[in-house]
Amino acid sequence: MPDWKRYVREHLPHLAIKPEREMEIVDELAEHLEATYRDALANGASEQEAYKLAAALFADWRLMECELSLAEQPVNGAPLRQLDTAIEQAKSEKSRRRLVSMESLFQDLRFGLRALLKTPGFTLIAVITLSLGIGVNTAIFSSIDALLLRPLDFPGLDRLVALSETPDEGFGLGNVASADFLDWKSQSAVFDSLTVYQWWESDLTGVGEPERLRGGRVSPDFFHTFGVKAALGRTFMPDEEQPGRDQVALISHGLWQRRFAADPHIVGKTIGLNGASFTVVGVMPPEFDFPKATAVWAPLPITGEFTSERKSKYLTVIARLKPAITTAQAQTEMDGIAYRLEQLHPETNTGRTVVVTSLRDRVVGGFTPMYMWFSMGAVLFVLLIACVNIAGMQLARDAGRASEMAIRAAMGATRWRIIRQLLTENALLALLGGALGILMALWMLTLIKTSIPPEITRFMPGYGRLAINTRALSFTFVIALIAGIVSGLAPAFRASKPDLNEALKEGKRSSGACVNHSRLRGLLVISEVALALTLLVGAGLMVKGFTRLAENMKRGLSPENVLTMGVSLSRTRYPEAHQVRAFYQQSLERIEKLPEVVSAGAVTFLPASGGWRTVDLFIAGRPDPGPGQSQSANLLAVTPHYFQTLRIPIIEGRDFADQYQADSPRVAIISAELQRRYFPDEKALGKRIRVGSPTSDWATIVGVVGDVMRFHFDKRWQPMVYLPHSQSSARTMYLVARASDNPLGLAAAVRAQALSVDKEQPVFDITTVEKVMTDQVSGARIGAMLMALFGLIALLLSAVGVYGVIAYSAEQRTHEIGVRMALGAQPRDVLKLVVGQGLALALIGVGIGLIAAFGLTRLMASVLFGVSATDMLTFALVSLLLMAIALMACYIPARRATKVDPLTALRHE
């Protein structure tokens, strides 16, 4: 006799009434079912038929709950009529249906929650698994949202465009000649406003310690174009671009707070910039940070010779489109203007075109988008693996619930109803996972933020908004729901089609764990291994590439223990070349006298810093290269002891001597690559070269030094020419000082020596050479680090997943294994059977994963350095690693299976 009371209790949702009364109702309904069941049996029905008959009486539990709740409400007089009306309404078909469907949703949720609480171990592991998958997705989505989708925060950002001229000879924004800009401004009709800016390094003086500031010279309508106003004071007036009226400046909120103690009366005060005085007219609001990291803005006069300058391209042009004008329309108009300018000024503008791009796309640039989208791809893989894991876990758990499903089906629950119930459970799981995932995402964002040095982040548009916002939360919600449904679909369909006869048997577990079921499990193992392999290969390549990159940068020199700082001497303070030479000479002499300093020197661009200057090269005794046969080298000015300080080996000849003067015979040192490239069969030492122009002085090669990197992305060495600083008088130099140890400990002393020569001269970028180099590759480092993290999570999840599925499947086969052992199979055979089957699946997974990885990693080629996208070693190692993990995951359950006592196993049925 079925326990009808329990049956009612399980089906009737809790009523909002007194528990004693509820118990009475349960008793009464149970009694009714029992009587029906008994009568049916008495009339000759089988137990199963009687059960069905009784169960069919109460098919609609929700209607029951609804009516009981209404019936149990207190009544008297008027409320009675209200109650009747309420009942009438509840019964009217439409509202009834709505009520029922709402009710059934709540019932699903309630029931789902109860089911999850019943298996806390499963729930915990599932929630953690999902939180890993969802968390990394939320973190990467937030990063993409801040850095790629909304890097800037200006009103009407979509209408802001950047205009540049091609061919582009520089990097990033810029490159428009001033006369071209003036023509664009007067001839175009698609823009509300058209504005320019130019980078402007300026030394702030007159307020305590001198400081080098990043600044921008901008046309007066610059701020109007962006739609921003000053937080204090005003922005520039149109007439302030006239020479003589342009000695005004706007300062950033940060500078105002840092250097002027947020002085509310700053407007009208005078500050020194590059030796000239400027009147502060306003302070910009804190959120205005364009161009990125700008501390001071001053007007940019385009007058005099600049109105006809078409050769030198030094301006960056930003424009605001008129409403309803598209970028394409603007492009069409600009094409026409460029064509006209080409006809009018063929000597400068031939082949010159204009490119209109959205400002957002222009500021993002570089490798960031690539890294971000790869990371997004990787985290989707992680999420998929998490989903497969959940599906596997659920298959195992749902097998234990087969009889529950069978009873539901027997009672008339439709297949869809059962699927919905199971999917609701999954959605609940995923939402819990999502909530935990947000914590995980917060942690990951902190990790991302702290691993990018501030020297880089201050130039990263959108970095300040890197956080979990409402968009990220909505994304998490959606992705959690999708994850819940995806991971639940297969098991739900499986479970919704129970074999009633089998499932309702007392034993519950059938030996032959149906074929479909085991096929599904096999599929899970295969996809898990394949997904993990693809991701791990990608991660492996990224990590390997980054390691190569980091090693490559340091080739040819020894950057450890070397302190560096930049100095830039302005023309106002140091008008004459001999003054410049004297400054550097005196500073370096004083620095070298410091006891902790081993040696010191200076250079125009540090190795692998990404800064260089390429010049034409002429060799004495050879014809000048014809057109198209460029013969060039990278030009650097260095002081004596520079090579020694960075330990760049002098292969032949010697270093520049201390006593060289501006008027002594010209000399040069070349790099080994220059020797190889331009003097392949002869000694370069003693040869004479000219750099820059065919009319410059001949310089004799006095030494050959080892190669160093120019830019970390260079795939091969670049030829370099070093000239003595005493003969080139570069104004901006990077000092380098080798310390016996702890270079940063020297910073204050070295800086003091430089200031002792000129206390008004700021030094900047004080750091170590090693850090300059690693900062260069921080993007690649964080890309590799994230990929490694995702790979690790994928490995962990798939190991757990494969283990779970194999363990469950071995357990399902306990009976079979028992029979085999009873018939004489040895533990070794059982081990082989279980491990063999698992490994076969893993091998198929590895095969599929290799094919997928082979296809997908090709997309990564552009962000891999020094490693091929099809690097055999990585592919092989990752495959072996996964097979080893799969072996472990299979071995443990297999070991357990060999411990099966045949007798117990046979009784298992």
Binding segment for another protein (CB under 8 A), chosen from 20-28, 134-142, 527-535, 751-759, is 20-28
* Tokens standing for residue 732: 């901006």
In the complex, minimum distance from the CB of residue 70 to another protein, in angstroms, rounded to a whole number: 7
In the complex, minimum distance from the CB of residue 28 to another protein, in angstroms, rounded to a whole number: 5
SS3 249: strand
* Residue 63 in contact with another protein, rule: CB under 8 A: yes
**Quick one: which of 718, 726, 902 has its CA closest to 820?**
902
Phi, psi of 450, deg, nearest 5: -75, -15
Q: Which of residues 237-296 bind another protein (CB under 8 A)?
A: none
Rank residues 77 and 627 by Cβ distance to another protein and give the closer one: 77
Alpha carbon distance, N-terminus to C-terminus of the chain: 23
Q: Which of residues 82-101 bind another protein (CB under 8 A)?
A: 83
**Contact with another protein (CB under 8 A) among 16, 23, 35, 861:** 35
Rank residues 95 and 326 by Cβ distance to another protein and give the closer one: 95
**Contact with another protein (CB under 8 A) among 7, 51, 58, 618:** 58
* Residue 24 in contact with another protein, rule: CB under 8 A: yes
Which stretches of 274-370 are assigned E, i.e. beta strand? 276-283, 296-299, 313-321, 353-358
Cα angle value 279/285/291 (rounded, 5°): 80
**Residue 655 and residue 661: Cα distance in Å, rounded?**
15
Residue pair 352/342 in contact (Cβ under 8 Å)? The answer is yes
**Quick one: which of 276, 280, 278, 283 has its CA closest to 268?**
280
In the complex, minimum distance from the CB of residue 94 to another protein, in angstroms, rounded to a whole number: 15
Binding segment for another protein (CB under 8 A), chosen from 22-30, 198-206, 672-680, 709-717, is 22-30
* Residue 10 in contact with another protein, rule: CB under 8 A: no
Binding segment for another protein (CB under 8 A), chosen from 28-36, 152-160, 324-332, 839-847, is 28-36
* Residue 67 in contact with another protein, rule: CB under 8 A: yes
DSSP for 157-208, written as a single string: GGGEEEEEEES--SSSS--EEHHHHHHHHHH--SEEEEEEEEEEEEEEESSS
Residue 329: burial class (beta carbons within 10 Å; 0-12, 13-18, 19+)? middle
In the complex, minimum distance from the CB of residue 91 to another protein, in angstroms, rounded to a whole number: 9
* Residue 40 in contact with another protein, rule: CB under 8 A: no
* Residue 32 in contact with another protein, rule: CB under 8 A: yes
Rank residues 28 and 551 by Cβ distance to another protein and give the closer one: 28
**Contact with another protein (CB under 8 A) among 16, 80, 439, 822:** 80
Binding segment for another protein (CB under 8 A), chosen from 57-65, 432-440, 467-475, 485-493, is 57-65
* Spatial CB neighbours of 305, under 8 Å, sequence gap ≥ 6: none
CB atoms near residue 162 (< 10 Å): 20
Binding segment for another protein (CB under 8 A), chosen from 26-34, 155-163, 824-832, 839-847, is 26-34
In the complex, minimum distance from the CB of residue 110 to another protein, in angstroms, rounded to a whole number: 20
**Contact with another protein (CB under 8 A) among 25, 267, 651, 819:** 25
**Contact with another protein (CB under 8 A) among 23, 75, 876, 903:** 75
Rank residues 72 and 404 by Cβ distance to another protein and give the closer one: 72
**Residue 207 and residue 224: Cα distance in Å, rounded?**
30
In the complex, minimum distance from the CB of residue 85 to another protein, in angstroms, rounded to a whole number: 13
In the complex, minimum distance from the CB of residue 22 to another protein, in angstroms, rounded to a whole number: 12
Binding segment for another protein (CB under 8 A), chosen from 70-78, 317-325, 538-546, 761-769, is 70-78
CA distances, 807 to each of 4, 803, 889, 893, 894 (Å): 36, 6, 8, 5, 8
**Contact with another protein (CB under 8 A) among 22, 34, 404, 765:** 34
Rank residues 69 and 518 by Cβ distance to another protein and give the closer one: 69
**Contact with another protein (CB under 8 A) among 7, 8, 29, 815:** 29
**Contact with another protein (CB under 8 A) among 3, 10, 31, 909:** 31
**Residue 143 and residue 395: Cα distance in Å, rounded?**
35
* Residue 28 in contact with another protein, rule: CB under 8 A: yes
Residue pair 158/149 in contact (Cβ under 8 Å)? The answer is no
Rank residues 32 and 322 by Cβ distance to another protein and give the closer one: 32
* Residue 3 in contact with another protein, rule: CB under 8 A: no
**Residue 288 and residue 774: Cα distance in Å, rounded?**
29
What angle, 0 to 180 degrees and rounded to 10, lies between the N-to-C axes of helices 814-822 and 827-857? 140
Binding segment for another protein (CB under 8 A), chosen from 29-37, 202-210, 224-232, 437-445, is 29-37
**Contact with another protein (CB under 8 A) among 16, 18, 48, 71:** 71
In the complex, minimum distance from the CB of residue 66 to another protein, in angstroms, rounded to a whole number: 9
Binding segment for another protein (CB under 8 A), chosen from 74-82, 120-128, 170-178, 812-820, is 74-82
Question: What value does the CA radius of gyration of the chain take, rounded to a whole number of Å?
Answer: 38
Rank residues 1 and 124 by Cβ distance to another protein and give the closer one: 1
**Contact with another protein (CB under 8 A) among 6, 14, 23, 57:** 57
**Residue 635 and residue 699: Cα distance in Å, rounded?**
13
Phi, psi of 281, deg, nearest 5: -105, -10
**Residue 355 and residue 346: Cα distance in Å, rounded?**
19
Residue pair 266/256 in contact (Cβ under 8 Å)? The answer is yes
**Rounded to an integer, what is the distance from CA 379 to the centroid of its chain?**
10
What is the DSSP secondary structure assignment for residue 730, as one 8-state letter? Answer: -
Rank residues 84 and 158 by Cβ distance to another protein and give the closer one: 84
Residue pair 896/813 in contact (Cβ under 8 Å)? The answer is no
In the complex, minimum distance from the CB of residue 69 to another protein, in angstroms, rounded to a whole number: 9
**Residue 15 and residue 352: Cα distance in Å, rounded?**
79
SS3 2: coil
* Residue 668 in contact with another protein, rule: CB under 8 A: no
* Residue 36 in contact with another protein, rule: CB under 8 A: yes
**Residue 126 and residue 426: Cα distance in Å, rounded?**
10
Rank residues 83 and 840 by Cβ distance to another protein and give the closer one: 83
Residue pair 708/638 in contact (Cβ under 8 Å)? The answer is no
Q: 707-726 mask for another protein (x: CB under 8 A)?
A: --------------------
Rank residues 60 and 239 by Cβ distance to another protein and give the closer one: 60
Q: 450-479 mask for another protein (x: CB under 8 A)?
A: ------------------------------
**Contact with another protein (CB under 8 A) among 9, 41, 72, 275:** 72
Residue pair 608/711 in contact (Cβ under 8 Å)? The answer is yes
**Contact with another protein (CB under 8 A) among 41, 45, 53, 68:** 68
* Spatial CB neighbours of 103, under 8 Å, sequence gap ≥ 6: 13, 62, 65, 66
Q: 365-404 mask for another protein (x: CB under 8 A)?
A: ----------------------------------------
**Residue 453 and residue 147: Cα distance in Å, rounded?**
16
**Three-state helix/strand/coil letters over 481-517:** HHHHHHHHHHHHHHHCCCCHHHHHCCCCCCCCCCHHH
Q: 413-452 mask for another protein (x: CB under 8 A)?
A: ----------------------------------------
**Rounded to an integer, what is the distance from CA 541 to the centroid of its chain?**
17
* Residue 64 in contact with another protein, rule: CB under 8 A: yes
- Contacting residues toward another protein, per CB under 8 A: 24-25, 27-32, 34-36, 57-58, 60, 63-64, 67-68, 70-72, 74-75, 80, 83
